[in-house]
Amino acid sequence: MLPTQPINPGAAGKPGPARGRHPARATPRGRQVDPQVRAELEALLADRPRRRDLLIEHLHLIQDRFGQIPAAWLAALAEAMRLSEVEVYEVATFYAHFAVVKEGAPALPPLAVRVCDSLGCAMHGSEALLATLPAQVGGAARVLRAPCLGLCDQAPVVEVGHHFLHRATVPAVLEAIRQGDTHPHIASYVDATQYRAGGGYALLERVRSGALSAEAVLAAMEHSGLRGLGGAGFPTGRKWRAVRGEPGPRLMAVNADEGEPGTFKDRHYLNTDPHRILEGTLIAAHVIEAEDVYLYLRDEYPLAREILRREIAKLPPGGPRLHLRRGAGAYICGEESALLESLEGKRGLPRHKPPYPFQRGLFGQPTLINNVETLYWVRDILERGPEWWAAHGRHGGKGLRSFSVSGRVREPGVKLAPAGITLRELVEEFCGGMTEGHRLAAFLPGGASGGILPASLADVPLEFGALEPYGCFIGSAAVIVLSDRDDLRAAALNLMRFFEDESCGQCTPCRVGTQKARLLMERPVWDGALLAELAAVMRDASICGLGQAAPNPLTSLLRHFPDHVTAQESSPGGSSR
């Protein structure tokens, strides 16, 4: 039996207060909000609603003002939005682009210089920039590693504030800082006037007037065979019909969070022909009868954000309300359910399925989620007919694909080519061949998660279903070409580090598996049996596609490049640990 203890004994042996009663507190619980910060925050938020789903937007307002988020402002924002500080803090610290400064810590340099260290930029010298820039920049800015910035064809890329330097050098970065060149440069694009002059929005009016019925639109989309071009490849017409079949009200979300290393096609279309995407969006919204559409745009696309902000205001009257929402540096939010969580103002943690988003999506309502490029083709398919789309393709492929090509080719960039084209045909016909002095050794057909294939498979069609027998997939058609001068082990390690950094941490197989794989891959000798076992666990047990696909570059090397990885002998029982 435990000895009894007096409850709250008083001084000099006097009895303490009765059980359950406490002296009155001199101050309220928790961190107190600075009145001046409260007033400044109220002025900053102005008449913006204080709804939970706008939390990330409000955090951006603070970040844009200071280049960081001081702890005092987090406390004031929590009070203004009637949220706990924990809720606000966990969201702010989840996203890489929010620089939260803890209470009592010194302020950070307001300017961020982000150096892309993903595979394409690493192949072109980004590590040298990362090694040199901090000392050169000094206290003028903070130099940060960044995942893919969506300009892989211009590698290496550095983002100074929100201005991007293509094929960046140290002198160019220093000059941009000195000049204060930190804002996006808006190039020419097809604006509303030009788009209407080319027949734009006439199709939308036909759909809205009933001249082209919703059923006719659905039938054309299904007949065309268009599939989701964000990576999953789900038939577009079938998805629209599934959402329309659910009881309303219904919503729509546009996935413009293009974060797969090697992918930059959506950025190209958003920056050059935004109204074609917007018209496809409005047609889809009309078909499924969505009253609200949310465009989720990655924060690394400030030029696209400014273009959309301008052009959405010029849309034809009527139709759904369009909400432009800004990501904050989280690759995981490209996963559809994590995107929905982020749109609701939360951390981007993937949801368990079922229910699927078409059943219960944003705010619990049936939600259609489409990729940017998928919507880009809606107008062409409906105007030219589904046969036009289906007639394109090679080697059994159907339709057109926008390949994001980078790496060791003479002419990298977005290449519009027939679906099913082979890597060899793509490089020779659309990219001007290999870079001088380089010989094809390997290629990534679908970005970081799509795996790595040897040159001997360069004649396999780049199409859904054609690459899976070789342990790879086309995904978003992000093609990274490697040569005989590239270290394939280093390439696979670079990709695994990316997945480790970008894991949301929700499930153990991905959170721990990516770290363990990276540590094993850093060893001079790979334990093939142990790595294969770890990859199987990650693939089978991870919640979402990030953890399931993260081992693909690793398993590709074990399968297709055994001479590049020397497997040590396994211990009795299967593998050495």
Give the integer Cα–Cα distance in Å for 492 and 567: 16
Q: Is the peptide bond before 354 cis (omega within 30 degrees of 0)?
A: yes
> What are the structure tokens assigned to 515, written together?
């770290």
Burial zone of 393 (CB within 10 Å; 0-12 exposed, 13-18 middle, 19+ buried): buried
Is 8 a residue whose pLDDT tops 80?
no
- C-alpha closest to that of 59 among 89, 39, 30: 89
Give the integer Cα–Cα distance in Å for 157 and 473: 26
Angle at 279 (CA atoms; ends 277, 293), nearest 5 degrees: 80
Three-state SS sequence of 485-532: CCCHHHHHHHHHHHHHHHCCCCCHHHHHHHHHHHHHHCCCCECHHHHH
- C-alpha closest to that of 203 among 399, 381, 402: 381
Burial zone of 269 (CB within 10 Å; 0-12 exposed, 13-18 middle, 19+ buried): buried
pLDDT, tens digit (0-9, with 9 covering 90-100), for 501-555 = 999 999 999 999 999 999 999 999 999 999 999 999 999 999 999 999 999 999 9
- pLDDT category at 563 given cuts 50, 70, 90 is confident
Is 125 a residue whose pLDDT tops 90?
yes
Give the integer Cα–Cα distance in Å for 96 and 494: 19
**Contacts with 5 (C-beta within 8 Å, 6 or more apart), sequence order:** none
pLDDT, tens digit (0-9, with 9 covering 90-100), for 84-94 = 999 999 999 99
297 three-class SS = strand
pLDDT, tens digit (0-9, with 9 covering 90-100), for 59-101 = 999 999 999 999 999 999 999 999 999 999 999 999 999 999 9
- Provide the percentage of residues in the chain whose pLDDT is more than 70: 93
Mean local confidence (pLDDT), 158-171: 97
CA 75 to chain centroid:
28
Give the integer Cα–Cα distance in Å for 515 and 420: 35
Task: Give the pLDDT confidence score for residue 231 in this predicted structure.
Answer: 87
Mean local confidence (pLDDT), 374-382: 98
Confidence (pTM): 0.92
Q: How far is CA 554 from CA 195, 290, 472, 490, 504, in A?
A: 45, 42, 11, 11, 20
Mean local confidence (pLDDT), 490-496: 97
**Contacts with 506 (C-beta within 8 Å, 6 or more apart), sequence order:** 349, 350, 543
